[in-house]
Amino acid sequence: MTRRILLPVLLATPLLAVYTYYYSDTLTGINTSNWTQNGPLSASGSGLTSVDANGGSLISTIAVPDGSSDYEVRTTLNLTASGGYYMSYLRASANTLLATGNTGTFYAVEIANPTFSGSSCSALLLILKSVSGSVTYLCPAITEWWCGRCTPGMQSSCTSMG
């Protein structure tokens, strides 16, 4: 099974204002000066993928310019078939990869197992936290998330503040 990974775009997050991006990457290649790579990944014009069942992760090494830990991750998904797990990591340690034997510390927003039906799809939306590999799901229950039309280029955003 091919596992697709999210395309993160980091930006500063003034609340209720126009965002000012401080870094953007379409991930047509992996710049190891800006990313720590965990697991086998391939980058191309189609995005970031992994052939490993556990997937892989890219963790930004770029500091937030204002010195805070507040930022937003915007992800573009190019979904073409049902299945897979798509993760956006926030405040992640360099070794973060949600997989067997995970030792990372992070928050994550996961879009899990999207299922297509015509031009629409549904998926599970999960929010979780890991401290040294101990994972806690922060949602009170796993709920189905209806995302309407799943089209190449649909976007997901999550913010880390405070």
pTM of the model: 0.80
CB half-sphere exposure, 11, CA atoms < 13 A = 19
Query: Which range has highest mean pLDDT (29-33, 42-46, 121-125)?
Result: 29-33
Per cent of the chain over pLDDT 90 is 27
Q: Highest mean pLDDT: which of 10-24, 79-93, 110-124? A: 79-93
Q: What is the distance between the alpha carbons of residues 60 and 30, in angstroms, rounded to a whole number?
A: 11
pLDDT score of 56? 92
Q: Is the pLDDT of residue 115 over 60?
A: yes
- Name the residue range of residue 108's domain: 3-160
Residue count of the chain: 162
Give the model confidence (pLDDT) of 32-67 as tens digits. Answer: 999 999 999 999 988 888 889 888 999 999 999 989
The tokens describing 39, both together, are 């697991």
Nearest to 1 by CA among 122, 79, 85: 85
Give CA angle at 20 (19, 24), nearest 5°: 110
Say how many domains are in the chain.
1
Mean pLDDT of the chain: 79
For position 145, what pLDDT does the model report?
56
Specify whether the CB–CB gap between 52 and 61 falls below 8 A: no
